[in-house]
Amino acid sequence: MKVIVTSEEELQEMINRAVEKTFKELLPKAIREASRKEWLNTDDVMEYLGCSRRTIQYLRDERRISFTQDGRKILYHIDDVNEYLEKGKVRRW
């Protein structure tokens, strides 16, 4: 693509549009990554997977999802939850 800039204002406007476009594309993903929790409690996993507390317990009992337990507190690493989701993924042909 060939661009001819005739004034400093046009150049500045082109730069502004390019920067704005880049921010609109990349900023939401960066915010999601920065605010992502590494460890989730059972309520977080229930919301993330859209299933019941009993289903989460079943997944633990069957060793289908990894977890860490300290007394009564049970935590799940987000990567383990995502791994569980990936294992159940059915690939297209």
How much is the pLDDT for 1?
67
Helix (H) or strand (E) holding 74: strand 73-77
pLDDT at 61 over 90: yes
Cβ atoms 48, 40 nearer than 8 A: yes
18 alpha-carbon distance from chain centroid: 26
Helix (H) or strand (E) holding 68: strand 68-70
Global pTM value? 0.59
Helix (H/G/I), strand (E/B), else coil: 24 = helix
Task: Indicate the residue type of 16.
Answer: N
How much is the pLDDT for 93?
66
Of 19-23, 41-45, 57-61, minimum mean pLDDT range: 19-23
Distance (Å, rounded) from C-alpha 59 to C-alpha 53? 10
How much is the pLDDT for 50?
94
